[in-house]
A and B are shown apart, each in its own frame.
Chain A
Amino acid sequence: MSKSHITTTINGDVREFLCDPSDTLLSVLRDNLGLTGTKEGCGTGDCGACSVTVNGRLVCSCLVLGVEAEGAEIGTVEGIGSSDKLHVIQQKFLEHAALQCGICTPGLIVSTKALLEENPNPTEDEARYYLAGNLCRCTGYDKIIRAVLDSAETLRGAA
């Protein structure tokens, strides 16, 4: 099988890679490009640990093919916050102790950012339903939802 040559933009950087037509975007990010912040919990679209944005749309990268990245803008957790300053959402997750093991956290941060871009003032219910695709087995979601609502408030204040 011949490999495809793909040119894409990841977190603002132009990146090129070779991949098989069957490779998922998740495996390309992790195994070809070394962007291991995006996690694999299931590989079947059921856990949200692999959440990224493709052209601004929130997707499970395990359900997207690497070749679909051609010409697209991809956003991963590595692109959120800067090396000297965490994004508000990241800071709020820490302040609220919204992570225990942390394996769900990158996916949740990407999803929360997408949520708050779509809906800067979600109700608790709206946040819970928007994030229903991001499984967390450790926290019972309580502190996650608090961090999300607090992030929303802070971001609204800053806007």
Chain B
Amino acid sequence: MSEAQDYKYIGQRTIRPDGYDKVTGRANYAADLALPNMIWGKVLRSPHAHAKIKSIDTSAAEAHPDVFAVATHADIPNQRNPGALNILAKDKALYHGHAVAAVAARTEQAAEEALGLIKVDYEVLTPVMNLDDAMAPNAPLIHDQLFTNGLPEKPSKPSNVASRMEMSKGDIEAGFKEADIVIEREFRTPTVHQGYIEPHACTVRYDADGQSMIWCSTQGHFDVRGSTANMLNIEHSKLKVIASEIGGGFGGKTTVYIEPVAMILSRKSGRPVKIQMDRDEVFKGSGPASATRNKVKIGARKDGTITAMEAHLYYESGAFPGAAPLGPGCMTIFTPYDVENQYVEGFDVVVNKPKVAAYRAPGAPQSEFACEMVINELADELGIDPIDFRLKNAAKEDTQTLYGPKLKAVGLVECLEAAKSSPHYQSALEQGVGRGVAAGFWFNIGGVSSVIINMNPDGTGTVLEGSPDIGGSRASMQMMAAEELQLPIETFTTIIPDTAHLAHNDTTGGSRTTFATGMAVIEAAADVVRQFKERAAAVWNVTPEQVQWTDGVAINANGEDKMTAAEICANAGRTGGQITGRGNINARGAGPSFGVHIADIKVDRETGKADVVRYTAIQDAGKAIHPSYVEGQYQGGAAQGIGWSMNEEYIYNKDGLLENPGFLDYRIPLASDLPMIETIIVEVPNSFHPYGVRGVGETGIIPPLAACGTAVSKSIGIRMTELPLSPPRILKAIQEAS
């Protein structure tokens, strides 16, 4: 772990600037805005998993005295927008909960009532609910014009397989020939939901002069503007999107569902419209993560050198082709290993489930689960410690990835070493407890960020940035501005303005905020420093090059003169106008973050219930700007991964209807389900970021699947291959084995 540089402000555990509002209930989230004259929208959802929509009769709903507007797919102005079919269904309802129509009425109850007056004539079709059924020879077709992409030749018949992709390096056959041992296994993972506690909600106003406004909970308000404007043929300058505080997203709030619908209803009714999803609608109508079936084959020599790695991945895309995060699944699976011979093939398959959406490191947990399970089994067969086995084959600087670039400096080896010497790994195992270790890799992204720092006449500054703050990022931005300007952290206030007050910003996703938006903050702060020097130089009658900015003060290199930020700002009107720093960037060089987790699990053999008794998450942060929130990301990712491993899954009945659309039956981890989650922050700086930052948000959800999968397998002495490891599944495995 390198201690490269001394920093004055970053690396501290400060109180987040938006904290006061959030502990007092003052912070405003999506559902918290009411406007004068506002009416309520409600969405009618398909009661079938797969059905033709023969007709929709809205006349009775329109005649309801409290109803102001009704909308169907026909009301979407841009019928060619590719996402529009998921916003309101057209000829076919493709999953249980697919939006079919919407109404706006005086009260929520009246809107609900009016939904019951809409008559939809459905012709119910056979649903296709899993990969096996979707790929069966005579499977019912979800889209009758879907021809598999990515095959050498266009297939003669349509199918439910949307696309195939393939990646390889080295010589896979030769690699397996060199192996002394080869293990091949197939794994399955269920459909899971991001499970953010705040349901989607928005309040929307369309004005007669064509100006419109959306208030909603989103990871990217600029993208909400982009997709809604496109769907409704509105110019960007006439659509202002305000990002409310966001009650969790995890990738699930990177897309629009109700915002365009509310806008259509507002346009038709001439009133502001609020739509708030129920929890049940969140599960049924918003995008979960792909269920998968993944086969992995790995060969190694007796000395522990891996010689070949091969995978065949099948990802459910939900009802729309191309939504599955198949690319990242294929690209990430073998990246923790410096192995010459690798081959991956992947398929995107449609089923009658909601269109999948991003979920924390989209695509990676599923594929890496399969790889890591086989790695652990190989280590056992070879009689090598699983951490040593990984160390022997670990990716490092200059490792050629399967998907293209060579890795720059990365921290996998450092994470493995930290795991090995951790108090957890050094501790003895109690009787009946199984221990699992797994690694995880996520690329992280950079992208477009636009930041403005306005310096005020009293020397304080306001940082305007465009990345909705889901987990404390305002604090990091404030600290980076302080570091660059060498001014106390409290000098800065961080604000996330609406889309009218800042140039476009990419969505908060890909763990890009602290890295990319942070870089834009640093650039804007450097721009302020440059202007500070110019202003001081003008007063002292020297060149800006002769002015130094040290410890938050301008110093004349040729004399004794000093000028503070407050003095420069107070005088700014007389030296050329107020001072604004700008950082409009497209950040390149997001450094990947590797992680390693250790799980201890004890299974009750009578009931099949598995308890996580100890857990440690180790991950490379490059440089932790705010260590508490970095740890929080590790812990939160671990908890979601534990949920995915142990309990969470969409349960459908034989008609394709979702049976557990609520937190009672879709059981995310409770406080009583988890132990403390120990963390170790490894810091191998990312050479592309001025402070060495790597995104940390996503990697943490990847290792838990195989760490828990292995720990359960060891506890019961049976190799488990299907998630979740819920009590009935574990019990069944125990009973079958005895």
Q: Which A residues have a C-beta under 8 Å from some C-beta of B? A: 20, 22, 30-31, 34-44, 46-47, 49, 76-78, 80-81, 86, 90, 93-97, 99-106, 109, 124-125, 127-129, 131-146
A101–B246 contact, CB under 8 A?
yes
Residues of A within 8 A of B32 (CB): 30, 36
One of B25, B195, B247, B635 near A37 (C-beta < 8 A): B25
One of A96, A133, A145 near B676 (C-beta < 8 A): A145
One of A96, A101, A105 near B196 (C-beta < 8 A): A101
Q: Which residue of A lies closest to B25 (CB)?
A: A37
Cβ of B122 under 8 Å from chain A: no
A101–B23 contact, CB under 8 A?
no
A137–B197 contact, CB under 8 A?
yes
**A93 CA to B628 CA in the complex, in Å?**
12
A139–B635 contact, CB under 8 A?
yes
Residues of A within 8 A of B250 (CB): 137
Cβ of B19 under 8 Å from chain A: yes
27 A-B residue pairings within 8 Å (CB atoms): A22-B109, A31-B34, A36-B29, A36-B31, A37-B24, A37-B25, A37-B26, A39-B198, A40-B276, A77-B24, A78-B24, A78-B25, A94-B15, A96-B628, A100-B632, A101-B247, A103-B247, A124-B676, A137-B640, A138-B470, A139-B639, A140-B638, A140-B669, A141-B639, A141-B674, A142-B674, A144-B671
One of A86, A125, A144 near B20 (C-beta < 8 A): A86
A136–B197 contact, CB under 8 A?
yes
Provided the pairs A37-B25, A44-B279, A101-B198 are in contact, do residues A135 and B670 lie with their beta carbons within 8 angstroms?
yes
**A30 CA to B276 CA in the complex, in Å?**
13
Of the candidate stretches B134-142, B390-398, B660-668, the one touching chain A is: B660-668
Cβ of B28 under 8 Å from chain A: yes
Residues of A within 8 A of B29 (CB): 36, 39, 103
Question: DSSP class of A's interface residues: helix, strand, loop or mixed?
Answer: loop
B470–A101 contact, CB under 8 A?
yes
A99–B19 contact, CB under 8 A?
yes
B635–A143 contact, CB under 8 A?
yes
**A112 CA to B111 CA in the complex, in Å?**
37
Residues of B within 8 A of A35 (CB): 25
One of A43, A105, A131, A133 near B22 (C-beta < 8 A): A105
**Closest 4 interchain pairs by CB?**
A37-B25, A103-B247, A140-B639, A102-B22
Cβ of B340 under 8 Å from chain A: no
Residues of A within 8 A of B632 (CB): 97, 100, 138-139, 143
Whole-angstrom distance between the Cβ of B26 and the nearest chain A Cβ: 7
Residues of A within 8 A of B639 (CB): 137, 139-141
Provided the pairs A97-B632, A101-B196, A143-B628 are in contact, do residues A77 and B670 lie with their beta carbons within 8 angstroms?
no
Residues of B within 8 A of A144 (CB): 671
Whole-angstrom distance between the Cβ of B156 and the nearest chain A Cβ: 46
